[in-house]
């Protein structure tokens, strides 16, 4: 989408589709490294699906796109569809990054506290592919023995930023490709680079 195009009118998914999206997010976070599928409405980036299904009046949302104008258009569309308040990145509970994020943006994502880890954000990151990037080994609750992820399109050093605020207060990450395939990296998962 270019800044001269209007974002599509978004419609909140119906109950069945919202439940499918919720289940896909839950499965991705409960079983790190396992691929699930986010069913996004036609014409809507798959990384937007969690916002459309999970946002509500009490859930601040943020959208990051190629330009500020694009981000604003998507954000207004999500706010209209869900009645969720818009927020800056550091205040949002649900974030959709429709373009590659920067290290500064990763550092700015909302985190929780040891007493309230659930206050951290859920960040859906659109990536070019779920495989082909640097291999990250996963360990911890729900991760199968030998579980790995290798998403592409992430800035060098992103794991260091995540490690600085991971457990128990860090954000939960979803890596989502254009077709809606998705893998989760919850804050409780330990990571190590290398195969």
Domains and CATH numbers, the chain: 15-193 (3.40.50.11310)
In the predicted model, what is the mean pLDDT of residues 65-77? Answer: 93
Query: What is the tens place of the pLDDT at every residue in 20-57?
Result: 999 999 999 999 999 999 998 888 999 999 999 999 99
Average pLDDT, the chain: 92
Its sign, for the CA torsion 37, 138, 153, 1, is positive
Supply the pLDDT for residue 136: 97
**Which two three-digit tokens encode residue 11?**
């419609």
pLDDT at 19: 95
- What per-residue confidence (pLDDT) applies to 143? 96
Cα distances (angstroms) measured from residue 39 to each of 50, 61, 114, 155 = 10, 19, 33, 26
pLDDT value for 2: 45
User: Is residue 184 a contact partner of residue 174, using CB atoms and an 8 Å limit?
Assistant: yes
- Is 156 exposed, middle or buried, given 0-12, 13-18 or 19+ CB atoms closer than 10 A? exposed
Q: Residue 194's pLDDT band (boundaries 50, 70, 90)?
A: confident
Number of neighbouring beta carbons within 10 Å of residue 105:
18
| Best CA proximity match to 25, nearest among 50, 47, 59, 44 | 50
pLDDT bin (cut points 50, 70, 90) of residue 3 is very low
């Amino acid at each position: 989408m270019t800044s001269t195009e209007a974002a599509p009118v978004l419609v909140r998914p119906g109950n069945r589709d919202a439940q499918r999206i919720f289940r896909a997010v839950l499965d991705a976070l409960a079983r790190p490294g396992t691929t699930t599928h986010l069913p996004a409405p036609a014409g809507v980036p798959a990384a937007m699906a969690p916002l459309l299904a999970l946002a509500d009046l009490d859930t601040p949302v943020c959208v990051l796109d190629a330009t500020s104008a694009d981000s604003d258009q998507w954000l207004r569309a999500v706010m209209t569809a869900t009645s969720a308040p818009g927020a800056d990145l550091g205040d949002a509970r649900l974030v959709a990054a429709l373009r590659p994020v920067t290290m500064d943006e990763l550092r700015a994502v909302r985190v929780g506290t040891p007493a309230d880890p659930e206050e951290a954000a859920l960040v859906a990151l659109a990536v070019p592919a779920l495989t082909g990037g640097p291999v990250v080994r996963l360990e911890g609750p729900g991760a199968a023995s030998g579980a790995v992820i290798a998403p592409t399109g992430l800035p060098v050093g992103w794991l260091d930023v995540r490690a600085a605020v991971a457990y128990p207060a860090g954000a939960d990450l979803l890596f989502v490709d254009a077709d809606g395939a998705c893998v989760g990296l919850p804050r409780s998962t330990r990571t190590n680079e290398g195969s």
